[in-house]
Amino acid sequence: MRVVIARCSVDYVGRLTAHLPLATRLLMVKADGSVLVHSDGGSYKPLNWMSPPCSLVEERAEDGVVWTITNKAREQLIVTIDEVMHDSTHDLGIDPGLVKDGVEAHLQVLLAQHISTLGEGFRLVRREFPTAIGPVDIMARDGAGLAVAIEIKRRGDIDGVEQLTRYLELLNRDPLLAPVRGVFAAQEIKPQARVLAGDRGIDCVVLDYESLRGADDPSLRLF
C-alpha cells in the first residue's frame, strides 16, 4: 500500500463531474489498484475513490504532479498534487479477511440453506461470492433469474448498507451479472439503515434466527 499526504485538488470525470478544491488530504493506493482520497474527518468514508480494475499514470506538470486514474469504464480520477508532505509504501501481506462472530456466520449458513426465505423462486448461486473489494456474503438469483447480492449482519446499521452499496456498484459493472439488486438481511435493522437502504433501492429483510435453525419448526412439535 502507498500512503501519501499531500496538498492536492481532485477531479472526477465520468457519469458526472465532481471537484475537490486544493487542500491537505490522505491518498491511498492499495495493492488491488484501488485509489482512495480521504480528509481528516467524515469517519471512514473517502471523499472520492476509484475501484479496481484501474490504472494509475503519474506525470509531472507545470503546476505539480498529476495522477490520472482510469477504470475500465473510462471514468477518471485526476489528482493534481501541489505539495507532498509524506510518501511511503508498505507491504501489508495477505489479509485473512473479516472473521464474523458465531451468530452472524451461522446466519449466513442457515440463510444459504433456506434461501427461499427471501422469496419464491430464489436459488443460491454461492456463499462468499468473491469481488475485488471483498466477498459478498451470498449471491443468489430471484424468481425472475436476476442476480441478488445479500449482505448479512446480526445488527444492521448504516455501515452495513454502505458496504453492500460498494459491492453493488462494483458488481453492476459486470455485464454478465448486471443488473444486480441488493438485499440487506439482519436480525435487527436500525431505522436509519432502513431509510438509507430504501434510498439506494436495497431491500431490507429481518431474519428470525430461531426459525431458520429449525427451533421454531411446527412440524417438530408434539402438540
pLDDT in tens, 107-163: 888 999 999 889 889 999 999 999 988 899 999 999 999 999 999 998 899 999 999
Kindly report the CATH number assigned to the domain that includes residue 151.
3.40.1350.10
Q: Are 152 and 167 in contact (CB under 8 A)?
A: no
Cα–Cα distance, 195 to 192 (Å, whole number): 5
Of 103 and 178, the structure prediction assigns the larger pLDDT to 178
Q: 57 with 126, same domain? A: no
Residues 41 and 71 in one domain: yes
| Statement to judge: residues 49 and 12 lie in one domain | yes
Element holding 109 (H helix, E strand): helix 102-113
Q: Which residues of 123-148 are buried (b: 16+ CB within 10 A; e: fewer)?
A: ebbebebebebeebbbbbebeeeebb
Residue 53 sits in a domain whose CATH number is 2.70.180.20
Whole-number pLDDT of residue 20? 95
pLDDT of residue 196: 94
The pairs formed by 196-202 with CB atoms below 8 angstroms and a separation of 24 or more are 196/158, 196/161, 196/162, 197/161, 200/161, 200/165, 200/168, 202/161, 202/164, 202/165, 202/168
Structure confidence at residue 84 (pLDDT): 95
Dmax of the chain from CA atoms?
83
**Long-range contacts, 198-204 (Cβ 8 Å, 24+):** 200/161, 200/165, 200/168, 202/161, 202/164, 202/165, 202/168, 204/156
Q: Quick check: 105 and 192 in contact, CB under 8 A?
A: no
For residue range 84-104, what is the model confidence (pLDDT) as tens digits? 999 999 988 877 665 555 567
Together in a domain, 83 and 113? no
Last residue of a domain, one of 25, 58, 89: 89
* Assigned domain for 160 exists: yes
16 & 78 share domain: yes
Residue 96 is assigned to a structural domain of this protein: no
Inside any domain, residue 223 = no
Look up residue 143 and give its three cell numbers.
424468481
Residue 152 domain-assigned?
yes
Residue 215 has pLDDT above 60, yes or no: no
**Residue 34 sits in the same domain as residue 110:** no
Q: Are 33 and 55 within one domain?
A: yes
pLDDT of residue 216: 46
d(CA 192, CA 178): 27
In-domain check, residue 122: yes
Distance CA 139, CA 209 (A): 20
Task: Among 42, 58, 89, identify where a domain stops.
Answer: 89
- Read off the DSSP letter of residue 51: P
- Residue 214: pLDDT over 50: yes
**Which grid coordinates are listed for 58?**
503519474
Residue 196 and residue 135 share a domain: yes
Q: What does the pLDDT read at residue 32?
A: 86
Q: 110 and 85, same structural domain? A: no
pLDDT class for 43, splitting at 50, 70, 90?
low
Round the average pLDDT of the chain to a whole number and report it: 88
Mean pLDDT over 54-59 rounds to 94
One domain, residues 77 and 107:
no
Residues 19 and 118 in one domain: no
Domain hosting 18: range is 2-89
Domain count, the chain: 2
**Does residue 211 or residue 140 have the better pLDDT?**
140
Task: Specify whether 115 is located in the same domain as 67.
Answer: no
Domain endpoint, select from 56, 89, 122: 89
| pLDDT at 51 exceeding the cut of 90 | no
Categorize the per-residue pLDDT at 213 as very low, low, confident or very high, splitting at 50, 70 and 90: confident
Domain presence at residue 221: no
User: Where are the extended beta strands (E) located within 72-207?
Assistant: 76-89, 123-129, 136-141, 147-156, 180-189, 203-206
Share of the chain above pLDDT 90, in %: 66
